[in-house]
A and B are shown apart, each in its own frame.
Chain A
Amino acid sequence: MSNHPAVAEVAVPRRPAPGRIVNDLSIQVATVNGSGSQSSNLVLLRSLFGMGIPVGGKNLFPSNIAGLPTWFTIRANRDGWVGRKREVDILVALNPQTARSDVDELSPGRAVLYEEGLRLDRQRDDLVFYPAPFQKLAAEVVRETRLKKLLANMVYVGVLGELLSIEREEIYRAIERQFRRKKTAVRLNRQAVDLGAAYARENLPKRDAYAVAPMNENEGKILIDGNAAAALGSMFGGVSVATWYPITPSSSLVEQLEGFLKRHRKRDDGKATYAVVQAEDEIAAAGMAIAAGWAGARSMTATSGPGISLMSEFVGLAYYAEIPVVLWDIQRVGPSTGLPTRTAQGDLLSTYTLSHGDTKHPCLLPASTRECFEFGWKAFDLSERLQTPIFVLSDLDLGMNIWATDPFEYPDRPMDRGKVLSRADLRRLGGFRRYADVDGDAIPWRTLPGTDHPGAAYFTRGSGHDERAEYTESGEAYVRVMERLGRKFETARTLVPPPVISEADGRSPVGLIAFGTSDHPVEEARVRLRDLAAIEVDYLRLRALPFSPTVLDFITSHRRVVVVDQNRDGQLLQLLRSEFGERIPPGVLRSLRHFSGHPLTAATVVDFVTEMEIGAGPAAGSTASP
């Protein structure tokens, strides 16, 4: 047990005095999966959001329907840093299974709100303990056991609201939003909150340092998960065929897409301008999406690592036969089933070159819900323009967790349907060669099945073919086609979203390259490094593969470049090395690898860079964070 001095001895006023920690805290709610705490967690999150405080929520859940421990963390931060924080400031301990170890992990001075029966206060003397009889209080609202259990969750919202000074009106508003038209539910939940708050007022004098106060940072913003944003982006990208097979963490993408399409893509007569098919497996999902792309639809599928593995053969066919299709990979921890409900960036290498033979695919790397939306529609333009599979690599953290965002920008250009020859074109041209590079960009022209012209048809195959799409086993023809596909990839390089570079004026010797959800902790770490250690870190955020030439410029203009990967083997680092080879001076690249399944924290990045710059300095590629 810890022997830090207790902080709870002194009588503390209930309202935090100035100088206390305001609008900078993380709350962790530890419950049992299936206990129905999700609504109360969302209510808590939304009431903080409603107060105008930057906030984000992350659900750390097991691969289980009911019974195993689950944690929901909320981070509120006045400066807008809402990525995962290493320390928990307020623990809400509702799960007897994990309560003791959860309490053990806290730093001194933190607060624990717990079901009084757990008697956690005996465990340590350097924390602030707030026992409360959640179940008993809930029983004052309803008798029925199941409802009582659910309401107990809302009681802790009331207690916490009182302790942290969350505005009651905002809690009510969040409850109304959560339960919408269910009047009774709204009433009961409000009652539960009131009871919790009253209990806290009478029995739990404020003794910890944390509090919240209204701000005005959320004007015009909403809270949304990345999968919903991706679904919206896909709808505004004009998706017409979406196929899928359920898998966490991608299921909610297509489920929400179907919801949006039902509302906004049906005609007045009820007829759908889209098809969503739950396939028998990911192989079929890929086959359907690819053939739909072949036949001219804007088609997509969404999956995670195991599904990507199954799609491998089909993706090679789409690459070689030059068929547009969009594939979302909401990455989770592999290999195999791995940690199926935890986040990772472990599919970078496998998707980039998915399938046998020489294959490479443009990959878009969204870092925010806004980019999920933007890449959602842009991916279709790219796939039809390039006539090739486009991967969008999101991850569980982005896809399933809740992020505050500014409004998404409506597409700023009409759809690019790519090089498709119509009947009129064919009449004018007489015919066409399916796989010929007539424009010098290595992108051929295609026709769609159903085009009413005797010269429209061509034969699509995964076996050797020449410019006229004729079967051939000629080595020369094979080389010609493959070389052109290689050149087409160079065209792709100029079309994919370029990296975002943020550099300090004086050109720091230290650079950092990251992508996807590493962005949030990296940006927070840069500020902390500047403020606390006077280390400027220039930052290149990669938004797509293949790399644009600026990536090499960025590397060569810095003395040390940290490459952040959320995987064991430094997959991005490997790609940089293989792409730029000798052109990267030796010793420049340093690999920060984080792969515990939890989102990366700013602290991990700060520690790494500090040690590199001030401490002994890790050898290149040797440091992995827990």
Chain B
Amino acid sequence: MPRAPRRRRTPRRPKTNRVGLQQRDYRGKPSTLCKGCGHDAISSQLIRAFFESDVRPHRVAKLSGIGCSSKTPAYFLNQSHGFNAVHGRMPSVATGAVLANRDLIAVGVSGDGDTASIGMGQFVHLVRRNLPLIYIVENNGVYGLTKGQFSATADENARLRSGEVNRLPNIDLCGMAVELGATYVARSFAGDPKQLVALLRGALAHNGTAVIDILSPCVTFNNHPGSTKSYTWGKTNEEPIQLLDFVPAVDQIEVDYEEGTTQDIQLHDGSWVRLRKLGRDYDPTDRHDAENLLLEAQESGLFLTGLIYLNTKKRTLLDTLELCDEPLALLPEHELRPRSEVLDEVFGSYR
């Protein structure tokens, strides 16, 4: 058989998204974290999610506290402003940035130490205010950057490599978030990229505080046998509560599933999350369901992942403050400084 003439291989054109960017435009600086660190896996999924959701990078503000996890905003979205602040205070920094410029898409990255200990107060109040923010907790059960001490999310009776045992009960950040009124609460795993990307894209389409607590193994200090925050443990124990698809507003949503097996929830920007049921009859828009689920997981030591709670109705901090539509940071002088007659008027009112 005559051989087909050898075709000159044209280089495959990298995919371009709707805003004309390639995935590599969403990359950051090379990571300085340990090889295999769960946090790097999460950065990769952030890159993918922002690329796939056609986000213009200049509209994004990356905020973080202090920790290995909090370093990661330098490792994704190079074309976005980033602010690596002080330990435990990412929520206040995100709040200030969003108040100044409500057009910003704010992504906060924090760690379990950063959020569940030193930053607990700010976490609580941020959630309570429902600031539009994607709040990512890269949860490894230890303080990575200070060399592996237990954090407050470490499970009771978990063991460090040194043999040290954690005798205190863990704090469940998803449980707290639901209780405090967060409007988008999810749990995921750095080793489950598909689910994570869908959750991140859903969070991008949501208007309000989206808390995503992600098991993100610390390969250096908490990845040993016996750890409940290791890759192996995650892989073995992960139990998704639903199969999750993100359907952008621009795509047609087709209903070709059997009645009662899926739930489509429309998000703020018109896109959808499609939830395909897996065993459990679970409705993430029901807060009682969410609380019961988390209680069950807590009591039985289950690693349930997926979209736990979603409320698209609650007003955000920006609504509460009745902010004008334009970013405060960009208001012109005549909007910021009242005229001199106003000063006379105020002065007159003191007479």
User: Could you list which residues of chain A lie within 8 angstroms of chain B, going by C-beta atoms?
Assistant: 222-224, 232, 235-241, 243, 260, 264-265, 267, 270-277, 279-281, 283-299, 313-314, 317, 377, 407-408, 410-411, 414-415, 447-454, 456-463, 471
Contact = CB atoms under 8 A, between A and B. Distances in A.
- Which 3 pairs across A and B sit closest by C-beta, in order of nearness? A287-B92, A291-B96, A296-B329
Contacts of B100: 240-241, 291-297, 299
Contact of A290 (B59, B74, B93, B342): B93
B268 to A, nearest CB: 20
Contacts of B61: 295, 449-450
B99 A271 contact: no
A283 B95 CA distance: 13
B323 interface: yes
B206 to A, nearest CB: 20
8 contacts: A236-B338, A240-B331, A241-B328, A290-B96, A292-B99, A407-B344, A451-B58, A458-B82
Given A295-B100, A459-B82, A408 B347 contact: yes
A447 B329 CA distance: 12
B92 A283 contact: yes
Given A237-B337, A275-B328, A292-B96, A457 B58 contact: yes
B96 A280 contact: no
Contacts of A411: 337
A296 B330 contact: yes
Contacts of B346: 232, 260, 264
Contacts of B342: 264
Contacts of A460: 81-84
Contacts of B94: 291
Given A271-B325, A450-B58, A463-B84, 13 more contacts: A243-B96, A270-B322, A276-B321, A291-B95, A291-B96, A295-B97, A299-B96, A314-B86, A454-B58, A456-B81, A459-B74, A460-B81, A461-B83
A284 B81 contact: no
Contacts of B124: 280
Contacts of B101: 295-297, 448-450
A368 to B, nearest CB: 15
A287 B85 contact: yes
A503 B225 CA distance: 80
Contacts of A287: 85-86, 89, 91-93, 95-96, 122
A273 B125 CA distance: 23
Point out which of A223, A270, A292, A447 has the most chain B C-beta atoms below 10 A from its C-beta.
A292
Interface in B308-351: 321-325, 327-331, 333, 335-338, 340, 342-344, 346-347, 350-351
Contact of B121 (A238, A280, A458): A280
A52 to B, nearest CB: 13
A224 B96 CA distance: 31
A260 to B, nearest CB: 7
B80 A313 contact: no
A286 B344 CA distance: 32
Nearest to A295: B100
Nearest to B89: A287
A180 to B, nearest CB: 11
B244 interface: no
A453 B89 CA distance: 28
Contacts of A290: 93, 96
B78 interface: yes
Contacts of A456: 58, 79, 81
Given A297-B99, A449-B97, A280 B125 contact: yes
Contacts of B81: 447-450, 456-460
B121 A281 contact: yes
A448 B343 contact: no
A232 B347 CA distance: 10
Given A223-B350, A291-B94, A277 B86 contact: no
B57 interface: yes
Contact of A273 (B29, B58, B79, B335): B335
B41 interface: no
B265 interface: no
A467 to B, nearest CB: 16
B331 A273 contact: yes
A453 B104 CA distance: 14
Contacts of B56: 452
A450 B96 contact: no
B218 interface: no
Contacts of B122: 280, 283-284, 287
Contacts of B80: 449, 457
B241 interface: no
Contact of A288 (B96, B333, B350): B96
A296 B91 CA distance: 18
Given A222-B351, A457-B80, A291 B63 contact: yes
Q: Which of B29, B324, B336 has the most CB of A within 10 A?
A: B336
A235 B338 contact: yes
A572 to B, nearest CB: 30
B58 A288 contact: no
B329 A240 contact: yes
Interface string B230-243: 00000000000000
* Residue of B74, B78, B84, B100 most packed against chain A (CB within 10 A): B100
Nearest to B325: A271
Nearest to B92: A287
B337 A415 contact: yes
A224 B329 contact: no
A364 B305 CA distance: 53
A237 B101 CA distance: 19
Nearest to A290: B96
